[in-house]
Amino acid sequence: MATAALKLGHDLLEASPSFPIMPAPGDRFRETVKTVVGRFGKDVASWRAKLLASHSELRKSLEELIRLSDDPSYAIRQLEELIGQAEATIALRRKSLAELTEAFNSETAQIAAVSTEEARFWRKMTRRFLDLASEELEDRLAFHTFLQTLLWDYDPDAHGGQSFETVEDLITDLHRTTR
């Protein structure tokens, strides 16, 4: 089905790696934190690979939907919905990342009150985690750009402004509007 890849895009945006709950200091603290951050890194890499692989499927699906549809604007609306979902998830991830950064900074201060060595370790691991989360956000932004490019490629209205059949028509219009 032509919309299967567009659905895949929606599913990928919803199924992105969830931010794990970091453990509290205590027994096996370092081991647990390393495991959580390592697993999150693998989840981000796996999600990124699926997201990148979806690009050609999405393009083919959109082309097929446009080709088979009596109304190509239906396919464009589907793509616009996917772009809207991408924008919403980007905003949500940005907010979550900001909140996590603030929470990690607060927790670092609390851990430092107990052990500077543990606080150094915590800071290093949370920095790694936040770097991974930032990479995931950058992947979302790149996916959004890809979707916008698809829209640009297939929707003449996305180009903005008037279209001209020939260069002469463009020049004539430019001369008329500059007077």
pLDDT of residue 1: 42
pLDDT in tens, 14-46: 777 777 777 666 668 888 888 999 999 999 999
* Average pLDDT estimate for 65-83: 86
Q: Which CATH number applies to 4-177: 1.20.58, 1.20.950, 1.10.150, 1.10.890?
A: 1.20.58
- Token pair for 49: 């690979």
Window from 41-45, 118-122, 123-127, 154-158 with minimum mean pLDDT:
154-158
pLDDT of residue 134: 94
The residues spanned by each domain of the chain are: 4-177
What is the spatial distance between Cα 174 and Cα 167, in angstroms, rounded to a whole number?
Answer: 10
158 pLDDT band, cuts 50/70/90, is low
Tally Cβ neighbours within 10 Å of residue 37. Answer: 21
pLDDT of residue 43: 93
What is the spatial distance between Cα 116 and Cα 132, in angstroms, rounded to a whole number?
Answer: 24
| pTM tops 0.85 | no
Element (H, E) at 169: helix 167-177
pLDDT of residue 177: 65
